[in-house]
Amino acid sequence: MTKGAATRDRIIQRAERIAGLEGLDGITFGVLAAELAMSKSGLFAHFGSREGLQLAVLLRAVDRFHADVLYPGLRARSGEPRLRSLVHRWLAWERTREARGGDLLSAAAFEFDDRPGIVRDCLVTSQRRWLATLAVACTIAIEAGHFRAGIDAEAWVREAHGVILAHRVAQRLLGDAQADRRAAAAMDELFARSREVAHKPRRRRAA
Amino acid sequence: MTKGAATRDRIIQRAERIAGLEGLDGITFGVLAAELAMSKSGLFAHFGSREGLQLAVLLRAVDRFHADVLYPGLRARSGEPRLRSLVHRWLAWERTREARGGDLLSAAAFEFDDRPGIVRDCLVTSQRRWLATLAVACTIAIEAGHFRAGIDAEAWVREAHGVILAHRVAQRLLGDAQADRRAAAAMDELFARSREVAHKPRRRRAA
């Protein structure tokens, strides 16, 4: 790592800690300069603008999401097992808090939804890509006969997303000690319900 | 309205507009003083602190939520009709954006989840109360025989909450033109499934 890259890395790490607590908007060059004993112009030289630094922090969270959730999840057998692996890793990741960025991505979805710019663009792209990946996995589960035909893959993914988001509010804001258990149960129920009719015709054919 | 109350009202209205765009954290005395051509010390005199003003804005959003969602929703016949009225008004309200505060409450849930203080306390209290109200309405729907026995009212409410939150991300961040239709369909599906056992035998007999 060059000296420049090492400094950039140190700045991003500090900015990540701030963003974990206060959101990407909590990142300001003023605070960072003081915490890192650097000049504001030094920070500018590394990231061009405050938005550039927010983007760097966001991209790092996206990288971690891929490393923790996407890549290992894709290793599972295609169809329902893969979808289940992806979704449960997603839920686990959302619970990891600041350390890995689980906090950051879903908070940023609410923080930046009305604010045009490169940060929002990056967030939209990564979220769309992730949800599309899940929709493909869900479609494969349908085609493989693991899920019943007629399931709307996009609606399915939105429902899983709802479980993730409601879990977050229940755990972080409302302090529900049962939040993890409830979220896992809700996901299980979603999977069970998606297989539901697939079981019925078999019974009918047998009759 | 006294002159003091009128001024306070004018400040809150301006602060609401800022909060609608940037979240409660976007409210600063510096920006407000410039926009309202007032001194910062004048703002301090009215609200004691920036947190006091954030609280005033939050309480106004909660008031509107009660006026638009809670009170009219409670007028519906108890059981499933009341629950349906409450939940659909909630969904409609979340779509109203800045003007009524629909944006504010769910954004604040993510913005303040890690930040102790009176704003967070107020948010937690109002959210808990609202979700508890829905859980009671759901319990009554079960007791009335509208919903099947064995439904976990808290899990039911969390699922409805998930629909609301996922809708918001889909509509605001991801720009899904079908977001409203999908959210309404997801709510309908949740209600249909909650009655499920009563209906299923009928469908089977028809086949």
pLDDT single digits (tens) B17-36: 888 878 888 899 999 999 99
Question: Using an 8 Å Cβ cutoff, are A91 and A167 in contact?
Answer: yes
C-alpha angle B132-B138-B140 in degrees, rounded to nearest 5: 105
Could you tell me if A115 lies within 8 Å of chain B, comparing CB atoms? Answer: yes
Could you give the number of structural domains in chain A?
Answer: 1
pTM, whole model, 2 decimals? 0.87
Q: Is the dihedral of CA B46, B49, B53, B56 positive or negative?
A: negative
pLDDT score, position B200: 47
- What's the confidence (pLDDT) of residue A97? 58
Nearest C-alpha in A relative to B166: A162
Residue of B nearest to A164 (CA): B162
What is the tens place of the pLDDT at every residue in A129-142? 999 999 999 999 99
* Residue spans of chain A under pLDDT 70: 97-103, 196-207
Is the pLDDT assigned to residue B204 strictly greater than 50? no
pLDDT value at position A81? Answer: 97
**Do A127 and B174 make contact, defined as CB atoms within 8 angstroms?**
yes
Lookup: tokens for B12:
């809150």
pLDDT at position A26: 86
**CA A9 remoteness from chain centre:** 22
* Among candidate residues B153, B163, B183, B131, the one with its CA nearest the CA of residue B79: B153
Whole-number average pLDDT of chain B: 88
Residue A203 exposed, middle or buried by CB count within 10 Å (0-12, 13-18, 19+): exposed
Separation between Cα atoms, residue A8 and residue A33, nearest integer Å: 13
> Residue B155, Cα to own-chain centre: how many angstroms?
18
Helices B50-65 + B3-22 axis angle, to 10: 80
pLDDT of the residue at B196: 64
Identify all chain B residues contacting A151, using CB atoms and an 8 Å cutoff: none
Tabulate helix, strand, coil % of chain B (nearest 5): 80, 0, 20
Q: Is residue A155 part of a domain?
A: yes
Which tokens in the block code for residue A43? 């920070």
CB A66 within 8 A of CB A57: no
Among A18, A105, A110, A131, pick the best mutation site for testing chain B contact (most B Cβ within 10 A). Answer: A110
* b/e sequence B96-113, b meaning 16+ C-beta within 10 Å: eeeebbbbbbbbbbbbbb
What distance in Å separates the CA atoms of residue A119 and residue A57, rounded to the nearest whole number? 10
Over residues B99-112, mean pLDDT: 75
Residue B5 lies in a domain: no
Q: Where residue B137 sits, what CATH number does that domain have?
A: 1.10.357.10
Q: How confident is the model at residue B206 (pLDDT cuts 50, 70, 90)?
A: very low
In a domain, A39, yes or no: no
Q: Please indicate if any CB of chain B lies within 8 Å of the CB of A91.
A: no
User: What confidence tens digit (pLDDT) does each residue in B119-142 have?
Assistant: 999 999 999 999 999 999 999 999
The gap between the terminal CA atoms of chain B, to the nearest Å, is 67
pLDDT number for residue B4: 85
Domain, as residue range, for B192: 58-206
In a domain, A50, yes or no: no
Distance CA B203, CA A185 (A): 27
Q: What are phi and psi of B176, to 5 degrees?
A: -75, 115
Nearest-10 Cα torsion for A70, A75, A77, A79: 20
Within a domain: A2: no
Q: Chain B interface, mutation test: which of A21, A112, A159, A190, most B Cβ atoms within 10 Å? A: A159
Cβ <8 Å between B165 and A169: yes
Chain B residues whose CB is inside 8 A of the A161 CB are 162, 166, 169
Task: Determine, for residues B161 and A162 on separate chains, whether the beta-carbon distance falls below 8 Å.
Answer: yes
| Residue A15, domain member (yes or no) | no
The Cα A183–Cα A174 span in angstroms is 14
Residue at A21 is within a domain? no
Question: Do the Cβ atoms of A127 and B169 come within 8 Å?
Answer: yes
Query: Does residue A169 belong to any structural domain of this protein?
Result: yes
- The verdict on A25 touching B (C-beta cutoff 8 Å) is yes
pLDDT of residue B101: 59
For chain B, say whether A180 makes contact (Cβ under 8 Å): no
